[in-house]
Amino acid sequence: MKISVIGSGSFGTSLAILLTNKGNDVTIYGRNQAQMDMMKATGGNHKYLPGIILPKSLKPTADLEEALADCELAIMAVPAQSLRSVLKEMKIVRDEVPLVNVAKGIEIGTLKRMSEIAGEYYGDSPFACLSGPSHAEEVARNLPTTVCSSSEDPEFAKTIQQVFMDENFRVYTNNDLTGVELGGAVKNVIALCCGISDGLGLGDNAKAALITRGIAEMTRLGVAMGGRPETFAGLSGIGDLVVTCTSMHSRNRRFGILLGQGMPMDKALDKIGMVVEGYTTQEAVNELAQKYNVEMPITTTLHKLLSGETDAEGCIGLLMGRKEKHE
């Protein structure tokens, strides 16, 4: 299959490697001409995946028209807040193309999920979301990984399952697109909070509580928006949440650790050097909680921290001092 990966960050590159190694004709697109030239010259994406050798047949390009020419499938691996602008550019080049999105977030302002944004530009094209616990650093090294392919079209979800699945990359299908997308978005917010907890040195008990109550928040919002409760107990819910909250591969957790240690927000973002989806998505998730009248104290407390209403130490009192509840 001729496949275009739109986005040359760590996850886009890792999926391009996987798909190329499966025998597909893969082009990877990035805006930065210098980065694409470097990938061609060195056979690696050293900024995002140091130490990983790219397959020789993988074709990097900074030309979107070249990337989309004759492609049978486009993998959207751009940051959530950039998806709309990239789709606008793509629509000029290709009127219709099947899409698989791997970005995890909610658009600020519109509060739209990634599938809803894609539907504005490619409403007549098949769409699927690939989500689950899948750090790019491990996918690129061919370590065992399990994710889910979700689409409102069950047959397209199965098609994507077959496109990606191999002996070390297992793919399940799931037709709860709303639930899968919300799980992927909210888990980044909770992971950022777990990082803050680790940065403050609050211990394993606190982190376990944040993960567990984070699942409760994720599920409440997801069900209110039409998702199924069982989805949040699956790969795109608790699976993705656990790996993002506990791994140093997680940019969200690392960013949170720096905040918990007292680093100013702008310096922490600069130190991470890549997009921290939880930082941008928390604003939209907090608005969704208000819109659907869903109680999400962890998300609300993080929003107060990032908007300057409290500091990292103050978050402890805001969460631990809440009125007693029945679990």
The single-letter code of the amino acid at 82 is: S
Distance between CA atoms of residues 100 and 108, nearest Å:
21
Q: Is 88 a catalytic residue?
A: no
Task: Tell me the sheet residues that pair with 166.
Answer: 169
234 token code pair: 């699956």
The pairing of strands 99-101 and 73-76 is parallel
Could you count the other beta carbons within 10 Å of the beta carbon of residue 323? 4
Per annotation, catalytic residue among 59, 187, 267, 291: 187
Q: Which residue has the tokens 């709860």?
A: 176
Alpha-carbon radius of gyration of the chain? 19
Terminal CA-CA length for the chain? 49
- Strand-pairing partners, residue 25, are 2
Q: How far is CA 150 from the centre of its chain?
A: 14
Distance between CA atoms of residues 222 and 234, nearest Å: 13
Catalytic positions are 187
